[in-house]
Structure 1
């Protein structure tokens, strides 16, 4: 491995470094693949969350994505200015505002998800199908683990 010679074995084998390196590579690939749709990877995550759930408040969406409320407001402001999401009062509780995808948001999400899939395939191209599935399964287990014990 070329980068091991540059960084040394202690750093090049650290989980923190490896995960960060993979994340940065994936973010670069997402930037390339999502650019035609005018969104980035973080905005795609918000759209995917909103599509998969009942309309949620921006606070609920922020909590599910584990991002602070200020960041969520900025993300939603950007998506709303692009016409991809809309905020409105909840029919069941007029004091609560919810966020939902617009028709344009649905269309962009469909195409952007396919582009994101291509970015992920490029990141994982050196792994065979079984290794890709195993990596995803292991990451799902790590993400789902309850560390409050």
Structure 2
């Protein structure tokens, strides 16, 4: 029996559906990002840098709930590809600020279409899904999930 039929015929827990969506997107992105030499995690890190200027690895590690070593390795690969540079933070010389280069910005602009194509394919017009309502609900869930995990880690 196919996974599609199992999902359609059974009551599937909410968290399992989120996992299926997340893994499906990761597989899609991995395939479509090969030409750019980056993986889905690195793409999300580029997005984070574009939204949070002059941030550092530790802040990103906390925000994404990814261990510092993984973030450091991902940024090292992006730095090796010329997509980010590190600059010493003048306010805290022990930390480096991460800055998106022109190549990183170009890669980000080109790969945004890949994300949009995935979204357009999974949320086709026939589904009658209100994208804005779905996005609003998912944002609330994401925030609550982050807050819950922060409480667990800090408590």
Shorter-chain TM-score tier: 0.7 to 0.9
Alignment partner of 1:55: what SS? coil
Alpha-carbon distance between aligned partners in 1 of 2:110 and 2:75, rounded to the nearest angstrom = 19
- Equivalent residue of 1:45, what SS? helix
TM-score normalized with structure 1 length: 0.84
Distance 1:5 1:114 in 2: 30
Unaligned 5+ residue runs, structure 2? none
CA–CA separation in structure 2 for the residues paired with 1:20 and 1:110: 27
Q: Which residue of 2 aligns with 1:105?
A: 104
Check if 1:122 corresponds to 2:121. Answer: yes
How many residue pairs match? The answer is 146
Tell me the secondary structure at the aligned position of residue 94 of structure 2. coil
Which 4+ runs in 1 deviate beyond 4 A?
4-8
Matched, 1:15 2:14: yes
Alignment of 1:29-68 (within 5 A): 29-68=28-67
On the 8 A contact 1:87/1:98 being kept in 2, the answer is yes
Structure ranking higher on relative contact order (CA contacts 8 Å, 6+ apart): 1
CA RMSD, 1 decimal? 2.4
Task: Provide the TM-score with structure 2 as the length reference.
Answer: 0.81
Residues 84-117 of structure 1, C-alpha deviations (whole Å, 9 max, x = no match)? 1111211333232111111111111111122221
Q: CA deviation at 1:6?
A: 4.4
Residue 133 of structure 1 corresponds to which residue in structure 2? 132
Q: Give yes or no for contact 2:123–2:129 (8 Å, CA) kept in 1.
A: no
Tell me how far 1:45 sits from its aligned partner. 0.8
Deviates more, 1:37-46 or 1:120-129: 120-129
The CA distance in 2 between the partners of 1:24 and 1:56, in whole Å, is 28
